[in-house]
Amino acid sequence: MTTFLLVVHALIALALVTVILLQRSEGGGLGIGGGTGGGMVSVRGAANLLTRATTVLAVMFIGTSILLAVLAAGTSKPRAVDTSLAAEGAPIAAPLDEAPPAAPVLPGAAPGLLPATPPADSVPLAQ
């Protein structure tokens, strides 16, 4: 039922976008186009038809949106937390009896200290 309503909802949305884009501009919208000149639909009767079609499609779109929201809210039920993957007595963290990794030592320096002068094989920067 929900899948069917989602498909109908998507088709209504597509039709609504199409009908809105078919309407003639009133001019001044975003500063482009203007209301002068003939549009795709410039007859007064066709404009009324498009306006009514837009209204009907908008009402249908909002109706299906509300219906889908009600269906989605009705299907959500509280569920128990699945604890089948939690092993009893399993360690939470790694054991602390391992030594931490050693800090890297730079060439020509005592462990833990930076060298006072650059190593002899280093290349000076171009100036």
* Tens-digit pLDDT string for the chain (127 aa): 889 999 999 999 999 999 999 887 766 555 555 555 555 545 566 678 889 999 999 999 999 999 999 998 887 777 777 777 766 666 566 556 666 666 666 666 555 555 556 566 666 666 5
Helical H segments across 1-127, by residue range: 2-22, 44-75
126 located within any domain: no
35 located within any domain: no
97 located within any domain: no
Q: Which domain holds residue 56?
A: 2-24+41-75
pTM exceeds cut of 0.85: no
Q: Residue 54's pLDDT is what?
A: 94
Number of domains in the chain: 1
Helix axes of 2-22 and 44-75: crossing angle, nearest 10 degrees: 160
d(CA 70, CA 92): 42
